[in-house]
Amino acid sequence: TDRGGPILRTTGLTKRFGEFTAVDGVDLAVDRGEFRSIIGPNGAGKTTLFNLISGAMTPTEGTITLSGRDITALSPAERVAANLARSFQLTTVFNGLSVRENVRLAAQAERFETLSTARRLFADSGELEGVDRRTDAVLDELGLRSVADARASDLSYGDRRRLEVGLVLATDPDVVLLDEPTAGMSGDETDATIELFEDVLADRTVLLVEHNVDLVMRVSDRITTLNGGREVATGTPAEIAADDRVREAYLGG
Ligand code: ADP
């Protein structure tokens, strides 16, 4: 693995639907510990790019590497096992289970990708201890220790959001993929989520696809703007805010 280089890289990533090119030769290089956001007007290709990286869609051309390993041909589940975390919208909180049980399930999930890994899990009780340790670490990291035994359905809104982030972090991912995590939230809820990100995701590598530009400006180290499936510009929030090509992409769409 190339610890020094970008942890997540796409090279010439392209997705065509028939004649139409939704993602067009995108080269991304996300550094370890970076919070990178993808923005762009409606139809820019953000969701398609996200789906290519998470494995929900197969690219027409191009490659994706994680820590130097080519993951282009891996299934979504195999990518999770390779330490690329699922986004919020793919996680499920089980209302009837306790907070601890929810986190524990998520911590185990990546180990059940195949029957042989499940067998290995049960053959090796050390693995189970590892899951317990990881569960406790996530409960501590998210400040959920005091509600660990509460049913998920009884949580306050804020604690429920914390639990959702906890499920993403339960596998201790190298890269966290987030797909419009504040969609449908009120302003106050969005602010609380931003604070949670700043608190919990600060040292992590994150790729966020988001239409809320204010949110992106607040949380990102760097922002990549897409238009018509192509990268328009990549830079810090200040650089992106000052970029004429980005303004054109939004206004002239
Ligand atoms: P964004 O998330 O930036 O709004 P999308 O990635 O959803 O953009 O879409 C980019 C373009 O690709 C749009 O023009 C959309 O209509 C088209 N597109 C997305 N998915 C499909 C599909 N499954 N089949 C055909 N066209 C698609």
The DSSP annotation for 67-90 comes to: TTEE-TT--HHHHHHTTEEPPGGG
Long-range (24+ apart) CB contacts under 8 A made by 108-117 are 109/80, 109/170, 109/171, 110/77, 110/80, 110/81, 110/171, 113/77, 113/78, 113/80, 113/81
Give the integer Cα–Cα distance in Å for 51 and 59.
9
> What pLDDT is attached to residue 191?
87
Between 84 and 59, whose confidence is greater?
Answer: 59
The atom of ligand 1 lying closest to the CA of 20 is: 26
Q: Does the beta carbon of 125 lie inside 6 Å of ligand 1? A: no
CA of 59 to the centre of ligand 1 (A): 13
Atom of ligand 1 nearest to the CA of 44: 3
pLDDT digits (tens, 9 = 90+) for 199-228: 888 889 999 998 888 889 999 999 999 999
33 Cα: distance to centroid of ligand 1 (angstroms): 29
Asked if residue 253 has pLDDT above 80, the reply is no
Residue minimizing CA distance to atom 13 of ligand 1: 43
Q: What is the mean pLDDT of residues 169-184?
A: 87
C-alpha of 200 from chain center: 13
Give the distance (Å) from ligand 1 centre to CA of residue 88.
20
Residue 161 has pLDDT above 50, yes or no: yes
Could you tell me the distance, in angstroms and rounded to a whole number, from the CA of residue 84 to the centre of ligand 1? 23
Ligand 1 centre distance from Cα of residue 253 (Å): 15
Cβ of 108 closer than 6 Å to ligand 1, yes or no, is: no
pLDDT at 26 over 70: yes
Token pair in block for residue 96: 């009837």
With both helix axes pointing from N to C terminus, report the angle between 125-141 and 99-109 in degrees, rounded to the nearest 10: 130
Of the chain, the percentage scoring pLDDT greater than 90 comes to 55
Give residue limits of the domains in the chain. Answer: 1-83+175-187+202-253, 93-172
Q: For 15-36, what is the mean pLDDT?
A: 97
Residue 43, helix vs strand vs coil: coil
- pLDDT band at 198; cut points 50, 70, 90: confident
Report pLDDT digits (tens) over 91-122.
578 999 999 999 998 888 665 554 455 555 55
Residue 38 beta carbon below 6 angstroms from any ligand 1 atom: no
40 within ligand 1 shell (Cβ under 6 A): yes
**CA atoms 102, 103, 109, 111: torsion sign:** negative
Q: Give me the phi and psi of 174, to 5 degrees please.
A: -75, -35
pLDDT number for residue 115: 46
Q: Does residue 253's CB lie within 6 angstroms of at least one atom of ligand 1?
A: no
Atom number in ligand 1 closest to CA 50: 6
Q: How far is the CA of 97 from the centre of ligand 1 (A)?
A: 36
Q: How far apart are CA 137 and CA 146, in angstroms?
A: 13
How is domain 1-83+175-187+202-253 classified at the CATH fold level? Rossmann fold (3.40.50)
Residue 208, amino acid: L
